Amino acid sequence: MAEVVLYSRQGCPFCETVETLLVKECLPFKKVELDEVSRKMLAALTDEIPEQLTVPKIMIGDRLIRTSDEFLELKATSALTHLVGSGGFTRSESASRQALPDVKGAICVLHTGPTDKIWLSELERALTSLGAKVTYVDVEKLGACDLSQKLPYSVVVNRVSDAVDPPLARFLTSLLSLAATQDVPVVNGAVPQSIATSKLAQHSFFHAAGLRTPQSFAVRCVGDVDDAFEKLGGTVIMKPNAGSFGKGIKKFSDPLQLHDHAQNASAYGNDGVAIIQQYHDVKEVYRVFILDGEVQCAVKTAIDKDREFTAQCMASAQKRRTTEGASAVTPIEVPAEVKRGCIDAMARSGANVGSIEYLIDPSSGEALYFDLNLLSTYPDVAVAGRDCWIDLAKSILSKARPA
């Protein structure tokens, strides 16, 4: 285990960001607040002028991390794990860990972070309105699990983002598999979760269902990116293979700018893989919501082309108005062939609930499918024409085993 030392200055927001991430990852570290002596020592190490020395600086063993951006780039991939120790992170004993709640017959909702997010709070509202007991498990904070004990839950519901770091994603997959092997019904289990975390896997499922996608290449280094751009030409999108909420997606027409961007580790997301995808200049994208093999609703989201080139997540898009003042999200009727394709693709993924996004190719008029989401936020009742959260709650309760 390499020693981690954080050199910081009180009140520095960049230092606070790095410290927060170190604590979140339960990484033991030594914090050094700069004084005159440590400033001169660190300046000599970094070959900087003491009076112009910037923080934070992070030492991991004999490796110097010069900026918070560099640290975040390492954090975005598995590189930080390898720097700290090839065996992975060593959890500090002082880290806050939680036991699995022993609530017999409850619906157990797996998640990360605060529980006031709309995709958690609305689901809880719907479930409790139907008389269900709900308990939350933050998989990021979950402590020791007794593998000899049976899980007490009537059903386990996976509401974890597909953008979590690979170590946590692997742990989540194991936890979902544990529930399944104990005959606990699971909503959106290990297989669909693994597909949702990979744009590459999603493309394969779309093609298996006979659906077209924008022409795309999986890339892992700058040379791959250059080759992909040469094949595609024109304008392309580079996006992390494992990503969510549209984060990390960039658009390029200049191969030199793309080349420069591709040299950043963060461009490849947290699994070291990115997608170079042909860009289609469209004014809107479409999303179809599917539950248990049936279409619940579908919407069209207008793109604010003055600021954006891709659709926002549903929660953000619903708060936005178009330049004409209308809602950015409006309901649509789903064409029969699109409905069949979306249902087939979702079924092949093994997902119980989720949504599929597509655009219309301006040149051919064909639907091009590009994203499968498990952690979908439903449109408002006024847009969907129904309370989709109640639909989901009823579906979950129908799967629950007797208490």
Q: Residue 89 pLDDT more than 50?
A: no
Quick one: pLDDT at residue 383?
Answer: 92
Pick the CATH number of 107-196 from 3.30.160.270, 3.40.50.20, 3.30.70.270, 3.30.428.10: 3.40.50.20
CATH architecture assigned to 281-389: 2-Layer Sandwich (3.30)
Quick one: pLDDT at residue 86?
Answer: 42
With a CB cutoff of 8 Å and minimum separation 6, the contacts of 229 are 236, 252, 255, 258, 276
Whether the CB-CB separation of 367 and 394 falls below 8 Å is answered with no
Q: Is 133 left (phi over 0), alpha (psi -120 to 50) or beta?
A: beta
pLDDT classification of 367: cutoffs 50, 70, 90: very high
pLDDT tens by residue, 246-282: 567 899 999 999 999 998 777 887 788 999 999 999 9
- Residue 257's φ and ψ, nearest 5 degrees, are -65, -40
Pick the CATH number of 216-278 from 3.40.605.10, 3.30.1490.20, 3.40.50.300, 3.40.50.150: 3.30.1490.20
Quick one: pLDDT at residue 81?
Answer: 61
- In one letter, which amino acid is 150? K
Quick one: pLDDT at residue 50?
Answer: 86
Quick one: pLDDT at residue 96?
Answer: 62
Instruction: Name residue 216's beta-bridge partners.
Output: 277
pLDDT tens by residue, 17-65: 888 888 877 678 899 998 888 888 888 888 888 888 889 999 888 888 8
pLDDT tens by residue, 203-258: 988 998 899 999 999 999 999 999 999 999 899 999 988 866 556 789 999 999 99
Pick the CATH number of 4-84 from 3.40.630.30, 3.30.499.10, 3.30.450.260, 3.40.30.10: 3.40.30.10
Quick one: pLDDT at residue 160?
Answer: 93
How far is C-alpha 115 from the geometric centre of its chain's CA atoms? 16
pLDDT classification of 190: cutoffs 50, 70, 90: very high
Q: For residues 90 and 370, which has the higher predicted lDDT (pLDDT)?
A: 370
Q: Residue 186 pLDDT more than 50?
A: yes
Residue among 341, 317, 345, 343 nearest 330 (CA): 317
Topology agreement, domain 107-196 and domain 216-278: no
Quick one: pLDDT at residue 306?
Answer: 60
- Mean pLDDT score of the chain: 87
pLDDT tens by residue, 306-356: 666 666 667 677 776 665 667 889 999 999 999 999 999 999 999 999 999
Domain boundaries, the chain: 4-84, 107-196, 216-278, 281-389
Max Cα–Cα distance, the chain, nearest Å: 72
Whether the CB-CB separation of 337 and 328 falls below 8 Å is answered with no
Whether the CB-CB separation of 293 and 309 falls below 8 Å is answered with no
